[in-house]
Every structure is written in C-alpha cells, then in structure tokens.
Amino acid sequence: MNSEKFPQIRAGGSLLLAWRIKNKNVLIVGGGNVACSRVIKALEADSSITLVCPEQGLKEELKYRIQQNQIRKWINREFEISDLDGMDMVLSAIDDPVRSREICQFCREKNIPVNVADVPPLCDFYFMAEHRDGPLQIAVSTNGKGPKLATIIRDHIQDNLPKRIGDSIEAVGLLRQKVREVDPDHASSEKRMNWMSKICEEWSLDELKMLNEKKIDELISHYKNNNVPKYSEIISSEGKKGYTGRIIIVGAGPGDPELLTIKATKALSSADLIVSDRLIPKAVFANVTCEIRLAPSKSGETKSEDAQDLLQNWCLEALNEGKTVIRLKIGDPFLFGRGGEEVAFFKERGWNVEVIPGISSGLSAPMAANVPVTYRGLSDQVLITTGQGTKGKLPNLPTYDIMRTTVVLMAVGKASELSKELLDKGYPPDLPTIFIENSNRPEERLIEATVSTLGEVVEKEHVVAPSTLVIGRTVNTLKNQELIC
Ligand SMILES: C[C@@]1(CC(=O)O)c2cc3[nH]c(cc4nc(cc5[nH]c(cc(n2)[C@H]1CCC(=O)O)[C@@](C)(CC(=O)O)[C@@H]5CCC(=O)O)C(CC(=O)O)=C4CCC(=O)O)c(CCC(=O)O)c3CC(=O)O
Ligand SMILES: NC(=O)C1=CN([C@@H]2O[C@H](COP(=O)(O)OP(=O)(O)OC[C@H]3O[C@@H](n4cnc5c(N)ncnc54)[C@H](O)[C@@H]3O)[C@@H](O)[C@H]2O)C=CC1
C-alpha cells in the first residue's frame, strides 16, 4: 500500500475536543487563583459547580461568586472523598501535591475525569489558553511544555482576528438552523452542507455579520434552487421590497455651525440617524433632533480601524432598517476624510451613496487667520497636503516655489520632521508660517513660526490638534489689517 496516500500520524499530542458540560456536576477543590480561573471556565460552559475549600483559603473573587449564587454549593472545609459522589468532573487546584495525587487516585477509582493543577502527569486533560468571542472559542495547547507561551500565542492569534467575528458565526448559526427548518430531510444533508459551505466561502465575514432575519429569509429562497447569491443581490432585492435606506456622506465644515452648507443643514434635519466621531463640535448638532451616534475619535481613544469598522457597521445596520443615515465628517469628506473609501464601502454593499461637500479647513483656516492663500504677485498656487500621509509618513513634498502657498493639515505631531523636510526641499528658514488651532471655533488660536522654528514653537506653545499649518509669503500679507472672517 502507498503510505503517502494517507495522513501521517504525529504521536504525543492530546485529543482536542469541545467538551459539553452544561448542567454537569463539576467539583473544584481549592480557593486560590487557579481555582478562580477554573470557576470562570466551568461557569462559561454552563456547568453546576461545587467548591470545596476552607473559608480562610478563599480568594475574594470566589467569595463574591458564592454570594452571587454562581457556585451551586460551597463546602467550607478541606476535601473529603465523599465530595466525589455524583461528580462528572473534578478540577483540583490546591498547593499540596501529595493530597493532589490522592484526589487523583480516588477519581480514577470512580471513573471521574480529573485535572490536578500541580501534578500535570496525572491529569486526564489539560486546560488551554483561550480566546472567546460569542460562540467562537480558540484554544492553544503546548501540552504542558509552556503554559505562559500558550497565552502569548493566544494573544497573537487574538490580535490578528477580524473584528466581531463572533457576530458572523451567530449569523451563520441562524442561517443553518433555518435551512434545516425548510429542508429537514435526512436525504438533503449533502445539499444543505454544500450550500452552507459555499455561502461561507463566498461571503466575507463582514457580509455574514450583516445577516438578519429578513436577509436570511431572502437567502433561503435561493437555497431551494441551490443558488448561492452575492450579498449585494440580497441587499438590492431587499430594496425592491420597499426598503428605503439612504446614506448621505456630509461634510460638516470646520466646526462653526454657520459654516455648514444649506444642503448639509437640510440633510441633517431629514435624517433618522447621524453617525460621526467625537471630534465633531457639539454646536454642529444644535438643531438636530434625531439619534446621534459618536464613535471614539480615531486618534488616541481607539485603534483607527476599529473606529472605522464601528462607524460603518452602525450605518449598515440602520440602512438595513430602512433609515436615512448621515455619515457626518468634519471638513470636506473627500479631502483627507476617507470619504472616497466610504463611498466604495457602501457601493460594494449595494447602496447608492449621496455626498454633500463641506468647507475644508484647508481653505477656511487660512482665511480665519487673515491669510489669503493666493495673492497677485505673491502666490499663484496652493498645495494642500497632510502631515500624516501613507502609513503615517510625511508625503513627498515638491521643492520650494516662491509663488506657492503650502497648507498642511494634521501637522502638529510632525512639526520637527516637517521643518527638516521643508528645509531639504529648499524652503527658506525664515519663511513665515502660522498654525491655526481649532479654526472657526470659539477656542481658535493663532501661533506664528518660521520654517526653521516649527518644531520648537509647537512644543513651546503646546499647539494641539486640530490645527492647520500655512506656509508661505502670504502669511504676513494682511498682518496688520483688521478683518473679520
Ligand atoms: C499542564 C497544565 C495543567 C493544567 O493546568 O491544566 C499546566 C500546568 C502548570 N502551569 C504552571 C504555571 C503557569 N500556568 C500559567 C497559565 C496557564 N496554565 C494553563 C494550562 C496549564 N498549566 C496546562 C498546560 C497547558 C499548555 O501547556 O498549553 C493555561 C494555559 C490554561 C488554564 O489554566 O486555564 C493558563 C493560561 C490561561 C490564560 O491566560 O488564558 C502561567 C502563566 C500565568 O499564570 O500568567 C504559569 C507560570 C508561567 C509558566 O510556567 O509558563 C505550573 C507551575 C509550574 C511551576 O511551579 O514551575 C504548572 C504545573 C507544572 O507544570 O508542573
Ligand atoms: N495549572 C496552572 O495553570 C497553574 C498551576 N499552578 C499550580 O496549582 C497550584 C494551585 O495554585 P494557586 O491557586 O495559585 O494556589 P494557592 O496556594 O493560592 O491556593 C491553594 C488553595 O488550595 C486550598 N487548599 C489546600 N489544600 C486543600 C484541600 N485539601 N482541600 C481544599 N482546599 C485546599 C488552599 O486553601 C488555597 O485556597 C499551585 O500549587 C501550583 O503548583 C500554579 C499556577 C498555574
């Protein structure tokens, strides 16, 4: 026989199983940290816990769980053999290897599976480092070689998983259940399995996450003909059935509610839900009556991708409920606002997207500081760029042109680096620059510097975001002229 035809056996492992212990009697011996962690795992598997440990050995956490009735029965003394009566599983977590060995021996005699935390060779099974997200459980075993390493590997896996994957699994669970309901026949098993497998392969996790009862019903209607539709087909047929969801990406301007366009103001008052982040000044919502949801700002409070994911999912959920959703963005959506990417995101999911422009601080902030970005004889072009280009790097700036005004958004954290880059590109060291902090808001502040002093001025004056930086000869043109912007 050809031995390569079949999988090779790698001996020495454990059998990894998902052990169902719902309502089973689990005895936990001990009251320290290990016992605490065993109690959590046994509770999360819906088992019924008996804890045996003298009161003086109990950690606070276990006292709390006893008081909350999470532990069915607590026996306030050391372990006795009679504690094993009626037990389906025993987890011993004591600091007495001799007693542990005895407990283990008693369990063997009674055929009860046992884990003894301090004597691994006697364990019938080991615990694993686990990641949990709803119905998803991922567990790592090193077979006793490196428990701490197991946790590090688990963390690594956890950090690399798609967000809210548990929701996708819940949705698939619902879909499987419905397929069985509409076609319960045992003879259909192969058809059901093939169809489910194809849906899982062809739909992204994000798309699966968005399955609700209505979409599942629509999807099931395709099962009958063994057809695997795309997510966008389900969405568009939902629309045909009278779903009126509408998504409008609106630029909020620089922060002064009076600088919202009339179109934006009208859209805000027609919305069912406004989705934005916490950087948006509250004044913008002065006349809004509908629900407003604000995600943590993308810088600082949470990872940028997480915030973006959350915002977009809020929008999709409301769209599927037929709501008019406004994705409100500071400034102009298409100028460093990721608006373009969001249009693509919603289009891919079958939605038509409307966009309303906003006044970008790239132009309104210089004006607030009395800086004309063009001026005959001084500047005949404007470059609007960012301090945070691809992967947070500075963009590749062109060499100095005496007739150009340069406006840099998101430059505060990059002032020193930017100063060097500008000098390298031939910008004169004493060329005037100005930071407009919180432009068009009551707390607006103007901070002047030159190309060579950008870094030190930001530090000395504690310049904060959001700030717009303007560089060029026109910075000083109207300096002593009173103007109200
Ligand atoms: C054999 C096993 C039997 C069992 O307990 O089932 C066992 C045995 C022992 N662990 C010891 C030490 C540590 N255990 C941890 C942590 C965990 N230990 C877990 C499982 C297992 N531990 C089983 C093998 C699993 C595998 O290999 O994959 C985890 C994964 C699951 C869980 O317990 O729920 C959980 C992480 C949970 C999480 O974070 O999610 C840490 C780290 C920490 O506490 O931060 C340390 C200190 C650092 C280190 O030693 O690595 C010692 C004392 C050694 C000594 O005295 O020197 C023994 C006894 C011995 O080895 O003799
Ligand atoms: N498997 C694992 O992940 C780990 C295992 N260990 C091992 O597990 C043992 C327990 O760890 P911890 O919880 O940190 O210990 P700990 O020393 O904090 O707790 C021991 C507990 O057992 C109780 N106890 C002792 N004899 C008892 C008996 N006969 N009946 C009932 N209760 C009894 C004590 O009152 C105390 O509450 C350690 O000795 C260590 O060898 C330690 C760390 C991790």
Instruction: Tell me the C-alpha to C-alpha distance, in Å, between residue 277 and each of 308, 321, 392.
Output: 9, 22, 20
At residue 170, the 3 state secondary structure works out as helix
Same domain flag for 235 and 266 = no
Atom 15 of ligand 2, nearest CA residue = 32
Query: For residue 276, what pLDDT band results from cuts at 50, 70 and 90?
Result: very high
Distances (CA, A) of 241 to 214, 237, 286, 318, 347: 11, 6, 35, 16, 19
pLDDT bin (cut points 50, 70, 90) of residue 484 is: low
With a 6 Å cutoff on the Cβ, whether 314 touches ligand 1 is no
| Structure confidence by residue, pLDDT tens digits, 222-273 | 998 999 998 878 865 554 344 578 999 999 998 889 999 999 999 998 899 9
**Residues 362, 383: Cα–Cα separation, whole Å:** 9
Does the residue 11 lie in any domain?
Answer: no
Number of domains comprising the chain = 4
Q: Is residue 32 part of a domain?
A: yes
Amino acid 163: pLDDT: 80
Q: How far apart are the first and last CA of the chain?
A: 88
What does the alpha-carbon distance between residue 239 and residue 245 come to, in Å, rounded to a whole number? 8
Q: How confident is the model at residue 303 (pLDDT cuts 50, 70, 90)?
A: low
Mutate to test the pocket of ligand 2, among 94, 114, 145, 149 (most ligand atoms within 8 A of CB): 94
Residue nearest to atom 32 of ligand 1 (CA): 127
- Per-residue tokens: 137: 């459980």
Distance 149 CA to ligand 1 centre (A): 9
Which ligand is nearest the CA of 119, by number?
1
So what's the pLDDT on residue 322? 86
54 CA: nearest ligand 2 atom: 35
* Pocket flag, ligand 2, residue 358 (CB < 6 Å): no
pLDDT of residue 242: 46
SS3 9: coil
Q: What type of residue is 314?
A: W
Distance CA 282, CA 272 (A): 18
92 Cα–ligand 1 center, Å? 13
- Is 155 within the bounds of a domain? no
Which of 148, 153, 155, 157 gets mutated to test ligand 1 (max ligand atoms within 8 A of its CB)?
A: 148
In a domain, 416, yes or no: yes
Tell me the CATH number at 45. 3.40.50.720
Measured between alpha carbons, how far is 288 from 274 in angstroms, rounded to an integer?
A: 9
For ligand 2, atom 30: residue with the closest CA? 78
pLDDT at 240: 39
Q: What is the Cβ-side half-sphere exposure of residue 298, based on CA atoms within 13 angstroms?
A: 15
Q: Which atom of ligand 2 is nearest to the CA of 147?
A: 3
Domain boundary among 359, 390, 406: 359
What is the torsion angle, in degrees rounded to the nearest 10, for the CA atoms of residue 444, residue 449, residue 450 and residue 453? -130
Compute, in angstroms, the gap from residue 143 CA to the centroid of ligand 2: 20
CA 275 to chain centre: 16
**338 and 413 share a domain?**
no
Q: Could you say which ligand is closest to the alpha carbon of residue 93? A: 2
Please confirm, yes or no, whether 118 is among the known catalytic residues: yes
Q: In terms of residue numbers, what domain contains 105?
A: 25-127
Domain shared by 409 and 376, yes or no? yes
By alpha-carbon position, which residue is closest to atom 10 of ligand 1? 147
Residue 396 is assigned to a structural domain of this protein: yes
CATH code for the domain of 212? 1.10.3280
Q: Rounding to the nearest 10 degrees, give the CA dihedral for residues 214, 217, 222, 227.
A: 70
- The answer to whether residues 451 and 372 belong to one domain is yes
Share of the chain above pLDDT 70, in %: 95
Q: Are residues 376 and 421 in the same domain?
A: yes
401 and 335, same structural domain?
A: no
Least-confidence region, from 102-106, 201-205, 208-212, 442-446: 208-212
What's residue 164's pLDDT?
Answer: 84
Domain-embedded: residue 152 = no
The residue count for the chain? 485
How much is the average pLDDT of 86-91?
98
pLDDT of residue 215: 87
Statement: the pTM of the whole predicted model exceeds 0.95? no
Is 24 within 8 Å of 86 (Cβ atoms)? no
Contact 30, 79 (CB under 8 A): no
Q: Which pLDDT score is estimated for 296?
A: 81
The 10s digit of each residue's pLDDT in 48-79 is 999 999 999 999 999 999 999 999 999 999 99
Residues 370 and 421 grouped into a single domain: yes
Express each pLDDT in 165-216 by its tens digit. 999 999 999 999 999 999 999 999 999 999 999 999 999 888 898 888 888 9
- Boundary-marking domain end, from 329, 359, 389: 359
CA of 147 to the centre of ligand 1 (A): 4
Distance CA 265, CA 80 (A): 74
Residue partners of 352: CB distance under 8 A and separation at least 6: 246, 247
3-state secondary structure of 373: coil
Tell how far CA 312 is from the center of its chain.
11
Judge if 393 and 452 occupy the same domain: yes
Please name the helix (run of DSSP H) or strand (run of DSSP E) that holds residue 447, with its range, or none: strand 445-450
CA distances from 130 to 40, 116, 133 (A): 12, 19, 10
| Same domain? 344 vs 381 | no
* 17: in domain: no
Instruction: Choose the final residue of a domain: 240, 275, 306.
Output: 240
- Tell me, what's the pLDDT at 301? 47
pLDDT in tens, 125-144: 999 999 999 999 999 999 99
Question: Coil, strand or helix: which one is 432?
Answer: strand
CATH number at residue 323: 3.40.1010.10
Query: Which of 73-87, 107-121, 300-314, 431-445 shows the lowest mean pLDDT across its residues?
Result: 300-314
Catalytic one among 88, 96, 118, 306?
A: 118
118 lines ligand 1 (CB under 6 A): yes
| Judgement on whether residues 346 and 253 belong to the same structural domain of the protein | yes
Angle at 300 between CA 362 and CA 437, to 5 degrees: 30
pLDDT over 90, % of the chain? 77
Whether 297 maps to a domain, the answer reads: yes
Beta bridge partners of 91: 28, 115
Do 295 and 349 fall into the same domain? yes
Kindly state whether residues 347 and 289 are assigned to the same domain: yes
Nearest CA to ligand 2 atom 19: 32
CATH code, domain with 414: 3.30.950.10
Q: How far is the CA of 35 from the centre of ligand 2 (A)?
A: 7
Task: Answer yes or no: is the C-beta of 32 below 6 A from any ligand 1 atom.
Answer: no
Residue 433 confidence class, pLDDT cut points 50, 70, 90:
very high
Ligand 1 centre to CA of 129 (Å) is: 9
Q: Ligand 2 in contact with 448 (CB < 6 A)?
A: no
- The mean pLDDT of the chain is 92
